[in-house]
């Protein structure tokens, strides 16, 4: 099982042959600026050669494939993280502890991969994580929670991180957007 992540542009396809789009809604970045283009995440049909996906990706797009852990469910939001590693040994402590916090907020991992296969473009992370949540409110609550705060600190110290909350489709709900924007303001002002 694999997931394709493609940074959308005006030329990007909304539907891909041999793939089922699971998320292509609005995003909000909770960390560094998102450099991959607004993501479209798709479940790749089993039996499709990864090399064959490249023919569907327009020039100028970034795209990569990651190994999946679980089939997508009915969740309405996703946390999509893409990292380049600085200290893998210490990052492992984060990786060991984060599943319990994710579960507390109704999340479940769809992909948690160290193996990222480039398809197109020049930006390829070392590690990609796709976590599904019942709603964007759940996804944002997870990220801004006191339970996650010490783990976030560890993650930021061990990797160059990029992370967005992504709606399954359409806009993010105002409630989730407001919580995320308040969190980002407090972080910029140093009060968090």
Query: Each residue of 86-132: pLDDT tens digit?
Result: 999 999 999 999 999 999 999 999 999 778 999 988 878 999 999 99
| Of 41, 7, 34, the residue nearest 184 (C-alpha) | 34
Task: Calculate the CA 39 to chain-centre distance.
Answer: 8
Alpha helices in the chain (DSSP H): 50-53, 88-104, 136-144, 149-158, 174-188
Count the Cβ atoms, other than its own, within 10 Å of residue 29: 14
Angle at 86 between CA 85 and CA 92, to 5 degrees: 70
Across-strand partners of 44?
2, 19
Asked if the model's pLDDT at residue 159 lies above 60, the reply is yes
State pTM to two decimals. 0.93
User: 26-39 pLDDT, tens per residue?
Assistant: 999 999 888 888 89
| Mean pLDDT taken over the chain | 91
3-state secondary structure of 173: coil
Q: What is the pLDDT of residue 12?
A: 55
CA distances from 37 to 6, 8, 29, 74, 150 (A): 8, 5, 11, 24, 29
CB-based contact 109:69 (threshold 8 Å): yes
Sequence-distant (≥ 6) Cβ neighbours of residue 48 within 8 angstroms: 18, 19
Task: Calculate the CA 68 to chain-centre distance.
Answer: 13
DSSP 147: T
Domains of the chain, each with CATH number or no CATH: 2-187 (3.30.70.100)
| Of 139, 133, 140, 153, the residue nearest 181 (C-alpha) | 140
Q: Residue 137 — very low, low, confident or very high, per pLDDT cuts 50/70/90?
A: very high
What's the token pair of residue 58? 């327009």
């Amino acid at each position: 099982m694999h997931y394709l992540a493609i940074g959308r542009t005006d030329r990007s396809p909304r539907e891909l042959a041999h793939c089922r789009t699971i998320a292509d809604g609005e995003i909000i970045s909770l960390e560094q600026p998102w450099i991959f283009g607004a993501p479209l995440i798709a479940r790749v049909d089993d039996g499709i050669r990864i090399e064959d996906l490249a023919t569907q990706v327009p020039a100028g797009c970034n795209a990569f494939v990651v190994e999946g852990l679980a089939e997508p469910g009915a969740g309405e939001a996703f946390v999509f993280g893409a990292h380049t590693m600085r200290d893998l040994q210490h990052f492992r402590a984060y990786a060991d502890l984060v599943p319990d916090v994710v579960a507390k907020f109704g999340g479940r991992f769809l992909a948690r991969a160290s193996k990222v296969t480039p398809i197109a473009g020049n930006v390829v992370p070392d590690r990609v994580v796709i976590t599904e949540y019942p709603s964007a409110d759940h996804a944002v609550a997870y990220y801004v929670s006191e339970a996650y705060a010490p783990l976030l600190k560890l993650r930021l110290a061990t990797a160059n991180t990029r992370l967005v909350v992504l709606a399954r489709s359409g806009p993010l709900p105002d409630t989730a957007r407001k919580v995320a924007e308040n969190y980002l303001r407090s972080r910029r002002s140093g009060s968090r």
